Amino acid sequence: MRYPEDHKQKTRRRIVEEAARLFRQDGVGATGLQPLMKALGLTHGGFYAHFKSKDDLVETALRHAAAQLDEITAPLAEAERPLALLIEQYLSPRHRDNPGAGCPLPTLSEARRARPPTASCASAWR
């Protein structure tokens, strides 16, 4: 039985979303490919059908997390007190208690020490 036409794209998206979560939660260095793929019910070897390397995944996952952050922070532009709202959101129990869905900036500090292009992705946030 053949997979649906969009199967590979959906699988890649699942990998990126889970990696972005784990990188924010545990850090890039502490997130191995084998446990990541196993958590998704996929094989370690299958990773390479979607990404050239872990650095490739890190860059893609960081861009995904940055896009999520942009969506979350967009309302700040129209807020009466944007800095106060940002601090309130950042220190909220929802954000504090769920680092896997939180701000990707702490992850970027680790990613800056990585090889290009991951380091350049992290540098773009400076």
The domains located in the chain, with CATH, are 7-123 (1.10.357.10)
Q: What is the band of 89 on the pLDDT scale with cuts at 50, 70, 90?
A: confident
Name residue, tokens 């967009």.
Answer: 74
Question: Given this model, what pLDDT does residue 57 score?
Answer: 95
Cα–Cα–Cα angle for 40, 43, 44, nearest 5°?
A: 105
Question: Given this model, what pLDDT does residue 61 score?
Answer: 92
Name residue, tokens 């532009």.
Answer: 77
**Out of 10-24, 41-55, 110-124, least confident range:** 110-124
Higher pLDDT among residues 117 and 32, named by residue: 32
Q: Is the pLDDT assigned to residue 43 strictly greater than 90?
A: yes
Q: What is the band of 31 on the pLDDT scale with cuts at 50, 70, 90?
A: very high
- Dihedral sign of CA atoms 11, 13, 14, 19 in order: positive
Q: pTM for the full model?
A: 0.77
Question: Given this model, what pLDDT does residue 81 score?
Answer: 93
